[in-house]
A and B are shown apart, each in its own frame.
Chain A
Amino acid sequence: MLKRSLAITALLVSALALRAAAVAVEGFTLIKSLGGIDEYRLDANGLSVLLLSDRTAPVATFMVTYRVGSRNEVTGTTGATHLLEHLMFKGSPNFNRAKGNSIDQFLESVGAQYNATTYLDRTNYYAQVGSEHLEGYMAIESDRLRNLWLHEDDRRPEMTVVRNEFEIGENDPTQALDKEIFAAAFQAHPYHHSTIGWRSDIEKVSIEKLREFYDTFYWPDNATATIIGDFDPAAALALVKKYYGAYPKAPKPIPQVYTEEPEQTGPRRVMVQRAGELGTVGVSWKSPAGSHPDYPALQVLGMIMGSGKTSRFYRALTDKNLTTSVSSEPGFFHDPSLFQVYANLAPNATHEAVEKIILDEVTKVKTDGVTDAEVATALGKIRASTAYGRDGSFAIASGINEDIATGDWTLFITLDVALAKVTATDVKRVANLYLDHNKSTTGWFVPIVAPAAPAAAK
Chain B
Amino acid sequence: MKHLLPLLTLTFTLASATAALAGVADNAVRQKINGLDVVSIKTGVKDVVTIRGTLAAGDSRSPDSNVALADLAAGLLDKGTTTRDKFAIAKVLGDAGATINFGTNASALNINAKCLRADLPMVLGLIAEQLRTPAFSPEEFAKLKKQVAGLMKRSLEDTDFRANTSYVRAVYPLGHPNRDASPEEYLAAVDKATLDEVKAFHKEFYGPAAMKLVIVGDVDSAAVSAELGKVFAGWTGGSAQARPARAGHVDAAREQDVFMADKTNVTLLWGQATQLRYGEPDALALRLGTAALGSGFTGRLMANVRDKEGLTYGIGSFISNDTFVDGDWRISANFAPDLLSKGIASTKRQLTEWHDKGITAHELESNKGKFVGSFKLGLSTTGGMAGQILNTLNRDLPLSFIDEFGGKINALTLEQVNGSIKKHLNPEAMIMIKAGTIPGAVTK
- B441 and A168 form a contact (CB under 8 A): no
Which one of A67-75, A184-192, A361-369, A391-399 contacts B? Answer: A391-399
A377–B94 CB distance below 8 A: yes
Chain B residues whose CB sits within 8 angstroms of the CB of A162 once the complex forms = 313
Q: Which residues of A contact B313 (CB under 8 A)?
A: 161-162, 164-165, 167-168
Check B46 against A455 for contact (C-beta < 8 Å): no
Would B265 and A130 count as touching, CB distance under 8 A?
no
- The answer to whether A160 touches B311 (Cβ under 8 A) is yes
If A130-B377, A387-B47, A387-B48 touch, whether A158 touches B310 (CB-CB below 8 Å) is: yes
CA distance A162 to B311 in the complex (A): 10
Contacts of A266 in B (CB 8 A): none
A319 in contact with B336 given A170-B264, A387-B116 (CB within 8 Å): no
Q: Does the CB pair A56–B44 fall under 8 Å?
A: yes
Q: Complex Cα distance A392/B362, Å?
A: 32
| Smallest beta-carbon distance B360→chain A, Å | 13
A346 touches B259 (CB 8 A): no
- Bits for A140-157, please: 1 = Cβ < 8 Å to B, else 0: 000000000000000011
Residues 97-125 of A, flagged 1 when their CB comes within 8 A of B and 0 if not, give 00000001100111111000000000000
| A133 to B91 CA separation, bound complex (whole angstroms) | 45
Contacts of B254 in A (CB 8 A): 457-458
Of A12, A111, A456, chain B has the most CB atoms within 10 Å of the CB of: A111
B278 interface contact, C-beta 8 A: no
A391–B90 contact, CB under 8 A?
no
Binds B, one of A212-220, A271-279, A409-417: A271-279
Q: Which of A57, A112, A458 meets B256, CB within 8 Å?
A: A458
Q: A161-B313, A309-B86 given as contacts; is B116 within 8 A of A384 (CB)?
A: yes
Contact B296 A167 (CB under 8 A): no
Chain B residues positioned under 8 Å from A59 (CB to CB): 21, 376-377, 380
Query: Is the CB–CB distance between A109 and B147 below 8 Å?
Result: no
Complex Cα gap A427–B370 (Å) = 49
Interface 0/1 of B42-79, CB less than 8 Å to A: 01111110100000000000000000000000000010
Which of B93, B143, B150 has most chain A Cβ within 10 Å?
B150
Chain A neighbourhood of B98, CB < 8 A? 384
Whether A321 contacts B147 by the Cβ 8 Å rule is: yes
Cβ contacts under 8 Å, B370 to chain A? 108-111
Looking at B94, B307, B312, B384, which has the most chain A CB atoms within 10 Å of its CB? B94
**A347 adjacent to chain B (CB < 8 Å):** yes
Are the C-beta atoms of B372 and A455 separated by less than 8 Å? no
CA distance A129 to B86 in the complex (A): 42
Q: Are A388 and B147 in contact (CB under 8 A)?
A: no
Does A112 lie within 8 Å of B373, measured CB to CB?
A: yes
Within 8 A of A (CB), among B372-390: 372-377, 379-384
Q: Do B366 and A130 have beta carbons less than 8 Å apart?
A: no
With contacts A104-B298, A164-B336, A310-B87 known, is A450 near B310, CB below 8 A?
Answer: no
- From A108, A168, A173, B334 is in contact (CB under 8 Å) with A168
A453 and B259 in contact (CB under 8 A), knowing A57-B21, A109-B370, A321-B143?
Answer: yes
Q: B296 touching A324 by the CB < 8 A rule?
A: no
Asked if B15 CB lies within 8 Å of chain A CBs, one says no
Question: Once the chains bind, are B94 and A164 in contact (CB under 8 Å)?
Answer: no
Q: Which residues of B contact A324 (CB under 8 A)?
A: 147, 150-151, 154
Within 8 A of A (CB), among B136-186: 143, 146-147, 149-151, 153-154, 156-159
Chain A: CB-nearest residue to B258: A453
Q: Is A262 an interface residue (CB 8 A)?
A: no
The 8 Å CB contact of B366, one of A108, A129, A168, A447, is A108
Question: A249: which B residues are within 8 A, CB to CB?
Answer: none
Contact assessment for B441 and A321 in the assembled complex, using a CB-CB cutoff below 8 Å:
no
Q: Mark B276-287, 1 if CB is under 8 A from A, else 0.
A: 000000000000
The answer for the CA separation of A12 and B116 in the assembled complex, in Å, is 13
Contact B149 A157 (CB under 8 A): no
Also in contact, A275 and B374, with CB within 8 A (given A324-B147, A384-B97, A387-B47) = no
- Docked Cα-Cα span, A453 to B162, in Å, equals 13
Inter-subunit contact B257/A458 (CB<8 Å): yes
> Is there an interface contact between A455 and B441, defined as CB atoms closer than 8 Å?
yes
B8 part of interface (Cβ distance < 8 Å) = no
| A274 vs B311: C-alpha distance when bound (angstroms) | 25
User: Given A111-B376, A156-B310, is A384 in contact with B90 using a C-beta cutoff of 8 Å?
Assistant: no
Q: Find A391's partner among B158, B375, B382 (CB 8 Å cutoff).
A: B382
Contact A346 B257 (CB under 8 A): no
A308 / chain B contacts, CB cutoff of 8 Å: 90, 93-94
A103 nearest in chain B by CB position: B297
Q: How far is the CA of A321 from the CA of B365 in the complex (A)?
A: 54
Return the chain B residue nearest A452 by Cβ. Answer: B443
Query: Please, what's the 1-or-0 string for A353-379, where 1 marks a CB less than 8 Å from any CB in chain B?
Result: 000000000000000000000001100
A58's nearest neighbour on chain B, judged by CB, is B21
Kindly state whether residue B32 has any CB partner on chain A within 8 Å.
no
Q: What is the 8 Å Cβ interface bit string for chain B, positions 295-313, against chain A (1 contact, 0 not)?
A: 1111000000011111111
Residue pair A391, B259 in contact (C-beta under 8 Å): no
Offer 5 A-B interface pairs, CB within 8 angstroms, sorted by A: A108-B296, A108-B369, A130-B373, A157-B307, A163-B336
A residues near B (Cβ < 8 Å) are: 12, 15, 54, 56-59, 89, 104-105, 108-113, 128-130, 133, 156-168, 170-173, 274-278, 307-310, 315, 318-319, 321, 324, 344, 346-347, 376-377, 380-385, 387-388, 390-395, 447-448, 450-458
Residues of B within 8 A of A (CB): 18, 21, 43-48, 50, 78, 86-87, 89-91, 93-98, 114-116, 143, 146-147, 149-151, 153-154, 156-159, 217, 254-265, 295-298, 306-314, 334-336, 339, 366, 369-377, 379-384, 436, 438, 440-443
Shortest Cβ-Cβ A-B pairs, 9 listed: A111-B373, A384-B97, A56-B44, A157-B310, A455-B441, A309-B90, A111-B374, A275-B261, A392-B381
Question: Assuming A171-B263, A309-B78, A346-B147, what are 17 further A-B pairs, CB within 8 angstroms?
Answer: A59-B380, A157-B306, A274-B262, A275-B260, A277-B153, A278-B153, A278-B157, A321-B147, A324-B151, A344-B154, A376-B95, A384-B97, A387-B47, A392-B384, A450-B261, A450-B262, A451-B261
